[in-house]
Amino acid sequence: MVSDLDIPMKAMILPPSYVTCKLDKGDYIELWYFTNDRLDDTKLKSSVNEDTMIMATLAGGDTEWVSATSIRNAAAVIDDQNLKFDNFCQACPQIIKAMQEASWPADCIKMMALFWCNLQVHNFHSMQNPLAQKALLIYSS
């Protein structure tokens, strides 16, 4: 019965399916996919039927039918070192949740969480010089 259910207290993370597949394999994925804007964009695009096929042009110029959910614009991806620092701070807890859902080893998740946490509380984070935050992002990547 619906009335017996608790109110959800955590946001649902809905990264694109190719991101989830990479995380399930234990591969790292750019933090950009876990920024609030990108996750909101994914929610809007999640209405696409997973069985929908579209024609894609491959690197060699050939065309092939592929799943619409598997297509991504690699040119739009922002490397970790080029994120805005506030986007970096938004993405870290989101990717940690996604790593947990993908059953990453707890020690790996803890290591990444501690690393990102230390960068977010580093003295450079609150400096007015934009190069200070950029240095943290470069170090992170």
Structural domain that includes position 72: 13-140
Does 6 reside within a domain? no
Taking the C-alpha atoms of residue 104 and residue 27, their distance in angstroms, rounded to an integer, is 10
Beta strands per DSSP E along the chain:
53-57, 63-67
Does 132 reside within a domain? yes
Does 119 reside within a domain? yes
Does 5 reside within a domain? no
How confident is the model over 18-73, as pLDDT tens digits? Answer: 788 888 888 888 899 888 888 766 555 555 555 666 666 666 777 777 666 555 55
16 in Cβ contact with 30 (< 8 Å): no
Token code pair at residue 64: 């092939």
Q: What is the pLDDT of residue 8?
A: 58
Does 26 reside within a domain? yes
99 in Cβ contact with 112 (< 8 Å): yes
Does 2 reside within a domain? no
What's the number of domains the chain is made of?
A: 1
Q: What is the pTM of this model?
A: 0.68
How confident is the model over 85-124, as pLDDT tens digits? Answer: 999 999 999 999 999 989 999 999 999 999 999 999 999 9
Does 48 reside within a domain? yes
Q: What is the pLDDT of residue 20?
A: 83
